Amino acid sequence: MPENNAETATDLLLDHDSEFGDDEDGLAPIELNLTSEVCGQRLDKVISHLVPQFSRGRLQMWITDGYVTVDGKVAKSTKDTVYGDEKIVILPQAAPEDEAFKPEPIPLNIVYEDEHLIVINKPAGLVVHPGNGNWSGTLLNGLLYHCPQLAGVPRAGIVHRLDKDTSGLMVVGKTLPAQTDLVRQLAARTVKREYFALVWGTPRLNGTIDASMGRHPKDRIKMAISTNFSAKPAITHYQVLASGELDRRPVSLVQCRLETGRTHQIRVHMMSIGFSLVGDVMYGKQHLASVFPRQALQARRLGLVHPATGEQCEWLVPLAEDFAELIAKAGIAEPEQV
């Protein structure tokens, strides 16, 4: 190799073969011809440097799964040493997240729709937005199928979420101006969001929980009451509507009104004062999980200012069938739709 070579290190190490066509997944194989510049380095380190458009983690997965060959032989390990004269071929594989934002014919329970917004009664079990372990079959996928124009709106118009196992009302902006206006209303805390929750125990008749929240310090999947500088304000107003009994244990039907909308807010706030939700195995009584297969929580009422007309709008839905059966089992009558 000439001592005074103006080519970059990548130019010296990388030689793509343009004769390769797309594979059946539409991802073209990548061919690398290595030189002595990389002698003694790990295989995964070398190819992650040469193919920066893919994360090292994804490249390591392809090596492990047999989609990388070295001189025509399947690579044995991410830790294999290269000597600088090898020919590497990578067969890129589509990642689940690459398919996340695609329309899917998922049934939607639409409570209201016009040219500006959609109000949906989300069933328990439906994930709102694609993410780890749920790259398809989400509410977002269903929205894109129902309303193709949402492909041009960030997050397909979604402005707030409900947990997978929480049922109830959500609003979606069908246009960018509508979505922006709804986000501003949420930030200004003017959106009315009222929930029903069935909790273990008997709280005092009403109260306000004003406790900031952040990620749990030891379990990043969970949320927790926090005084950390990164914690966000969270305020929940609650009122006990009725009391009953499940498995000889007292339970209460509680109406919760949110001022803020933090992840798991009602679940964490009610647990923090000693009254965890029935069925909530993440924050509640795991030994009583068989009583109900999800957290007993429903977004029952939603009120907001229409982003186009300025009209005050409100929607109300009855309890989901499984929730209604649960409170009936506890000897509690479903409150009237008022």
* Residue 331: CB atoms within 10 Å: 12
Q: Is residue 2 part of a domain?
A: no
Domain boundary among 167, 188, 209: 188
- Give yes or no: residues 202 and 333 share one domain: yes
Share of the chain above pLDDT 90, in %: 67
What's residue 23's pLDDT?
36
Domain extent at residue 275? 189-338
Same domain, 141 and 198: no
- The confidence score (pLDDT) of residue 16 equals 32
311-338 pLDDT, tens digit each: 999 999 999 999 999 999 999 998 876 5
183 found inside a domain:
yes
In angstroms, what CA-CA distances link 120 with 65, 111, 136, 161, 190?
41, 5, 19, 11, 19
Number of domains the chain is built from: 3
CA distance 117 to 135: 24
Q: Is 163 a catalytic residue?
A: yes
pTM of the model: 0.73
Tokens of 331: 């000897």
pLDDT at 15 over 60: no
Using CA atoms, how far residue 209 sits from 96, 206, 226, 233, in Å, is 39, 10, 13, 11
| Mean per-residue pLDDT of the chain | 87
Instruction: Label residue 84 by pLDDT band (50, 70, 90).
Output: confident
Query: Can you tell me the mean pLDDT for 22-43?
Result: 76
C-alpha–C-alpha distance, residues 14 and 228, integer Å: 47
Residues 322 and 178 in one domain: no
Alpha-helical (H) ranges within the chain are: 9-13, 43-50, 56-64, 139-146, 176-187, 265-272, 321-329
Q: Position 79: which residue type?
A: K
With respect to residue 21, please indicate whether it lies within any of the assigned structural domains.
yes
Give the pLDDT confidence of 126-157 residue by residue, as tens digits.
999 887 777 889 999 999 999 999 999 988 99
Identify whether the C-beta of residue 251 lies closer than 8 Å to the C-beta of residue 268: no
Region 28-41 average pLDDT: 88
Is 4 a residue whose pLDDT tops 50?
no
Give tens-digit pLDDT for 163-210.
999 999 999 999 999 999 999 999 999 999 999 999 999 999 899 999
* pLDDT over 70 at 69, yes or no: yes
Tell which residue, 74, 70, 45, 72, has the closest CA to residue 60.
45
Please check whether residue 120 lies inside any domain of the structure. Answer: yes
Report pLDDT digits (tens) over 232-274. 999 999 999 999 999 899 999 999 999 998 999 999 999 999 9
**Catalytic residue from among 11, 44, 98, 163:** 163
CATH number for the domain including 309?
3.30.2350.10
Q: Is 174 exposed, middle or buried (0-12, 13-18, 19+ CB in 10 A)?
A: buried
